[in-house]
Structure 1
Amino acid sequence: MFVVSLNYVAELTEVDRCIDAHVAYLDKCYSLGKFVLSGRKVPRTGGVILMDCDSREEVDVIIEEDPFFKAKVAEYAVTEFIPTLSAAGLEQFTAAIAVDAVPLS
């Protein structure tokens, strides 16, 4: 699982020019089962996407398809994590591993 934090590096007017294409990109990624959650930051300085991907390389390929990336209006910070607990209804995203089997360092 990956948390992708987008930070806008352009004026919002430039970002807004890409919004329709970005929403179509989000819809595509949701339909492929790669995105779990997404939304704007408050204040509106970027966004956050929770991605269900098998590797960092897959994440990078998906990010490169984002119209925000192509237009150079956002920078991306990626954090990988292993979800071991979840709210009811989200159990499919938790790893089937024992918590004590994962080294803490």
Structure 2
Amino acid sequence: MFVMELTYTAPVERVEPLMEAHVAWLDGLYEEGVFIASGRKKPRDGGIILAVGDDRAGIEKIAATDPFVVGAVCTYRITEFIATKTAPELAPYRQQPSS
């Protein structure tokens, strides 16, 4: 599982015009089953996405297609973790650590 933390590198006034395209991008990745949660950070200086994927390189490629990245208004910090414990609703995403 991956935590994708995006941080705005431009004022929110430059982010807003790209919001519709960003939300459509999110929606597509929810439909594909890659994203399982997302939202704005508070204070509003970026956002967080929880993603599932086979490897970090694949998630990095996905991040590079975000309209916010293409529009040069944010950067991503991607953290991979092994979700060994979850709420019951997230049980399908539980992972076992490799030895």
Identity of aligned residues (%): 41
Q: How many residues align?
A: 99
Query: Within 1, Cα distance between the matches of 2:89 and 2:80?
Result: 21
Query: Within 1, Cα distance between the matches of 2:69 and 2:27?
Result: 16
The structure whose Rg is larger is: 1
Query: Within 2, Cα distance between the matches of 1:27 and 1:53?
Result: 16
Superposed, 1:61-100 pairs within 5 Å as 61-95=61-95, 97=96
Shift of 1:42: 0.4
Deviations 1:50-76 (A, max 9, x none): 000110111011111100010110011
Give unpaired runs (5+ residues) of structure 1: none
Match of 1:72, as an amino acid? A
Query: Within 2, Cα distance between the matches of 1:32 and 1:81?
Result: 21
Structure 1 counterpart of 2:7: 7
Give unpaired runs (5+ residues) of structure 2: none
Segments ≥4 residues shifted beyond 6 Å: none
Structure 1 counterpart of 2:28: 28
Query: Within 1, Cα distance between the matches of 2:58 and 2:43?
Result: 29
